[in-house]
Chains A and B, each alone.
Chain A
């Protein structure tokens, strides 16, 4: 929080906590691309940020023990799904930086790590809108679905999250570094799984069910 004197500190390192092996491998790969060293020891240095990577933000509460705000260790949560109530709980537990999987490019992850190390707040825009918008009461459908597993693959969830930001297929293809054709296929399968009629319906279903 004393940002001025922390500016000249060394680059942050990352300790990754991810119960799911696939998610863990993906995060490690992005960290490598970002030139960030991942370390096995979470509390070895005040420059080490604990990166918790999970599907839903509520899992982060279980996977990563609460951090007192005064602790030197910065924490960062990467997730696919952010329900407002869980986001508030994670913020209260001292994690002030969150990132969507879909947005976790090397440069954004590096910037998020730095923010976490320096005790700043950095959140996806719609996550903050959700928290402040007082949507603390999840939709009934959402609570029912949230208990079970997501019907979507991580990739489908990412595409749906980008659709919810108003991105068209070409933009999604660029974000995910794949072809337009692949995006179309992913969307086709995803819409079939959700049994929805069009993009707006898919996005509404995803938000109401807490999938994105």
Chain B
């Protein structure tokens, strides 16, 4: 193993934060830090799953070092799990299954770039009636979808502006909004994400 991975904990209340922190203290591959500046992974512990949870995930991902997020929630519906993972969470654990062992493994996997859910949750996700095709599509406006579609067709900014009768500045700002909102690195990343998530 190399250096221990730097991990910080963000929780809605101090008891949860202390619990999660102590669960990771025994792991030699993890150093729990209190500042979020240099953490490779942030464990986000919330007491309910809602739109604000997704905002929190995105806010953490927006940090300077783009930390990976492991989300610990009380309970989660399959549709919410999809949203959380699409928002950028790399690990999703229900609180009652977040044993020290599970938690550290999920954190180390996220830090390495992989995504984990518990086998039990995966079963539920696969058994759940399929989320309607393109459920994520409602997350972007028609204008954004049109721009993304043209990007996927290989058009440049000027061509998109002409085709949609926008200024090139508008096109640039639409692309910028999308990449910011979903924490994407560039246009190629945005196009791949939108296609895979069924947005286009």
Query: Is A103 at the interface (CB under 8 A from chain B)?
Result: yes
Structural contact, B196 and A198, CB atoms closer than 8 A: no
Q: Given A4-B99, A163-B188, A199-B187: A123 and B195 within 8 A (CB)?
A: no
Stretch at the interface among B12-20, B30-38, B44-52, B109-117: B109-117
Q: Which partner residue on chain B sits nearest A199 by CB separation?
A: B188
Write out, one digit per residue, whether chain A residues 139-171 have a CB within 8 A of any chain B CB (1) or not (0).
000000000000000000000000111111000
- Max chain B C-beta neighbours (<10 A), residue from A96, A108, A133, A201: A133
Q: How many A-B residue pairs have CB under 8 A?
A: 157
Contacting B112 at CB < 8 Å: which of A108, A121, A126, A206? A108
Contact B197–A129 (Cβ < 8 Å): yes
Query: Which of A21-29, A47-55, A111-119 interfaces with chain B?
Result: A111-119
Known: A91-B122, A103-B113, A107-B112. A133 touches B86 (CB 8 A): yes
User: Contact size class for A?
Assistant: 35 or more
Residue in B153, B191, B193 with the greatest tally of chain A CB atoms within 10 Å: B191
Q: Is A204 an interface residue (CB 8 A)?
A: yes
Q: Is the CB of B115 within 8 A of A134?
A: no
Min C-beta distance of B99 to chain A, whole Å: 7
Q: What separation, in Å, do the CA atoms of A199 and B196 have in the docked complex?
A: 16
Interface status of B186 (Cβ within 8 A of chain A): yes
Q: Is A122 an interface residue (CB 8 A)?
A: yes
Cα distance A135–B133 in the bound complex, in angstroms: 6
How many whole Å from B153's CB to the nearest CB in chain A? 7
Q: A3-B105, A201-B153 are in contact. Are A133 and B119 (CB under 8 A)?
A: no
Q: Which residues of A contact B186 (CB under 8 A)?
A: 166, 168, 199
A121/B192 in contact, CB under 8 A: no
User: Which of A99, A121, A164 contacts B117 (CB under 8 A)?
Assistant: A121
Q: Is B184 in the interface zone, CB < 8 Å from A?
A: yes
Cβ of B158 within 8 Å of any chain A Cβ, yes or no, is no
**Residues of chain A at the chain B interface (Cβ within 8 Å):** 1, 3-4, 7, 69, 88, 91-92, 96, 99, 103, 107-108, 111-112, 115, 119-137, 163-168, 196-204, 206-208, 212
6 extra A-B contacts, CB within 8 A, seeds A91-B122, A123-B116, A134-B132:
A125-B115, A136-B130, A165-B185, A200-B151, A200-B191, A203-B189
